[in-house]
Chains A and B, each alone.
Chain A
Amino acid sequence: MFQVRFHGRGGQGVVTAAELLAVAAFNDGRHAQAFPSFGAERSGAPVASFCRISEREIRTRAPIDEPDALVIQDATLLHELGLFSGLRPQGYVVVNTAKTLEELGVAGIAKDLPANHVLSLRATEIAIAHLGRPLPNAVMLGGLAALTGVVSLAAVVAAIEERFSGAMRDGNVAAVIEAFNQTRVGPEALVAHQISQRRTVGASPD
């Protein structure tokens, strides 16, 4: 079982992200279960959602308290209490940011995890480039797919095509492919990739 916890803010499509990942996993022939954290939905408030992926039927309905991966759609949440709680020792983290982990003050998290398990991805920038709107949710899945291999890019693209239509579909597909390719520069290049991101000059979503 591979368990993913998504963190973001109301309006960023956190619930949709978990659902898209579940559909992508289903497209790959796996069992999957996505569900939101059940709170009062308010725009801008911290929101979490969950996705389990398994080769077998998923029966448990308990919240995910020991995730294999964290997808953090909004870097301003990084210092929220308990954001990293329960993350498995071999876990992965994808952060939507144009900054480095050092600049964000969470480099310690990466040190506790295996090499190349933490990805900082300029998801908001990629989303604005392709969608014209700061909607990082689907983009982050491109990074997660490339980083972990838990779902195929084709399955993520198919999930987006099923969910959206028109410009949202085409923009998200292009954005996901770009995020995937940016990440998929090989494990050794990941750190270099982060460094090159730091050097990139441009609008910062943070």
Chain B
Amino acid sequence: MLRQIEGSRAVAEAVALCRPRVVCAYPISPQTHIIEGVGTLVKSGRLKPCEFINVESEFAAISVLIGASATGARTYTATSSQGLLYMTEAVFNAAGLGLPIVMTVANRAVGAPVNSWNDHSDAMALRDAGWVQLFAETNQHAVDLHIQAFRLAEELSLPVMVCMDGFTLTHAVERVEIPTQEQVDRFLPPFEPRLLLDPADPVSIGGVVGPEAYAEVRYLAQARHLGALARIPELADDFGRLVGRQSGGLVSSYRCEDAETIVVALGSIVGTTKDVVDQMREEGTKIGVVHLTTFRPFPETALAEALEDAHRVVVIEKALAAGSRGILGADIDALVTNRGTRTFTVVAGLGGRAITERSLRRVFGEAIRGELGVVSFLDLDRDAVDRELARMAANLGTPPSVGRVFDDLRTPTARIV
């Protein structure tokens, strides 16, 4: 049914259609309306059988789901920001145990300083925890990815994070087609657990694995992720046939035929970028944008193909990997530099900083004219930063050489932007 609905509410509806048996969450900021929405659906009896468990922390939430999932229940939770980080230890455990938990991460910044606005710092901090990470470009995409996530998770025994931009998507009221229960039931069969704790036949899981076998266990995790790379596009096609729209997959390209400049990004900023691409195309600039729906496992081959003919790649990062040239940027750099393709990392939208079409146009133009640094910060307040750098330099002396990428930072007058 086509509805004009808030992103969080739409996701709550989609999750309910997937018939989770146990939903467990810590219902406090930084939560979104998703958990509230699922809770309402459980209480009203629309989602049943389902046990909704309020707990005392995010760490407890994921821990309860680990137990519930191991006893064969389809499980779901949502969190973001500090809440996700507070879960961290058990997030790794869920992946290590191969439990198909689905979790929405409504992406937000991480403190300190305290900031609950949107960026990708939370999900990026846990990118190597062993979970599949899917990023939604729109609320429609978020709804569709959640339904695909449960099937992917359960087929491959892998937990899946569906990442959607906090506020930008979760609080946006827009047009979303919510699939019918019949469609979802046809796509998502009942959960048949591979691993099942049963009091009548007790076993122990997650035991000690010594140096003689730990690497092998990790290798198998890698194999499951590589399996996901093959399965994700198939599930997207299945889902697409069922609902009549293409949604999901590994990467999606927009106007990249003959594009000399390709922008790569995760999440909702791709929408704004598409508008900018259209404007620049009208002026004759050969530019396109690639959305990375699947970030973990990293779709190396699909992405390399999508970027094959680009002269330059501009990567928009909504997270900062302090001390490195970026997260997505470094991954993409490794893929394309040996072909002579230039890559630029643009750190943007940190802590909810608005990303405007004007700023994107400017920075894409600078990349095309070769005026952009390897790593730059969109719309940085240069004066404020220079003053502080000068003060630091006066107090501490000149910082030691930190290599090419960080040349800009050595002298306050050099440009990062």
Contact = CB atoms under 8 A, between A and B. Distances in A.
B197 interface: no
Given A31-B175, A33-B172, A38-B171, A59 B6 contact: no
Interface in A11-52: 18-19, 22-23, 25-27, 31-36, 38
A60 B354 contact: no
B54 interface: no
* A-B pairs with lowest CB-CB distance, top 10: A26-B4, A59-B271, A34-B173, A35-B172, A38-B167, A60-B272, A19-B173, A23-B4, A33-B174, A60-B275
Interface stretch (A61-69, A98-106, A111-119, A141-149): A61-69
B118 interface: yes
9 contacts: A19-B173, A22-B174, A35-B168, A35-B172, A36-B167, A58-B174, A59-B138, A60-B271, A60-B275
Given A35-B173, A36-B171, 19 more contacts: A19-B173, A22-B174, A25-B4, A26-B4, A31-B174, A32-B175, A35-B171, A38-B171, A38-B352, A57-B175, A59-B138, A59-B271, A60-B357, A61-B165, A61-B272, A62-B272, A62-B356, A63-B354, A63-B356
A38 B275 contact: no
Contacts of B168: 35, 61
Interface string B105-127: 00000000000011000000000
Nearest to B357: A62
Interface string B137-176: 0100000000000000000000000000101100111110
Tell me what chain A mostly uses at the interface: helix, strand, loop, or mixed: mixed
A22 B275 contact: no
Nearest to B174: A33
B274 interface: yes
Interface of B: 4, 6, 117-118, 138, 165, 167-168, 171-175, 268-269, 271-272, 274-275, 352, 354-357
Contacts of B172: 33-35, 61
Contacts of B275: 59-60
Given A23-B4, A61-B168, A38 B173 contact: no
A22 B357 CA distance: 22
B308 to A, nearest CB: 25
Given A22-B4, A38-B167, A62 B355 contact: yes
A111 to B, nearest CB: 29
Interface size class of chain A, counting residues whose CB lies under 8 Å from the partner chain: 20 to 34
A3 to B, nearest CB: 13
A32 B6 CA distance: 12
Contacts of B357: 60, 62
Contacts of B6: 19
A26 B167 CA distance: 21
A27 B3 CA distance: 9
Contacts of B274: 59
Contacts of A35: 167-168, 171-173
A65 B354 CA distance: 11
Nearest to A58: B174
Contacts of A32: 4, 173-175
Contacts of A25: 4
Interface in A139-193: none
A25 to B, nearest CB: 8
B102 to A, nearest CB: 25
Nearest to A26: B4
Contacts of A23: 4, 173
Contacts of B268: 61
A5 B362 CA distance: 25
Among A60, A61, A62, A63, the most chain B Cβ lie within 10 Å of the Cβ of A61
A99 to B, nearest CB: 32
Contact of A33 (B117, B165, B173, B356): B173
Nearest to A15: B171
B170 to A, nearest CB: 10
Contacts of B117: 38
A18 B171 CA distance: 12
A34 B167 CA distance: 11
A74 B138 CA distance: 32
Contacts of A19: 6, 173
A59 B6 CA distance: 15
B369 to A, nearest CB: 23
Contacts of B354: 62-63
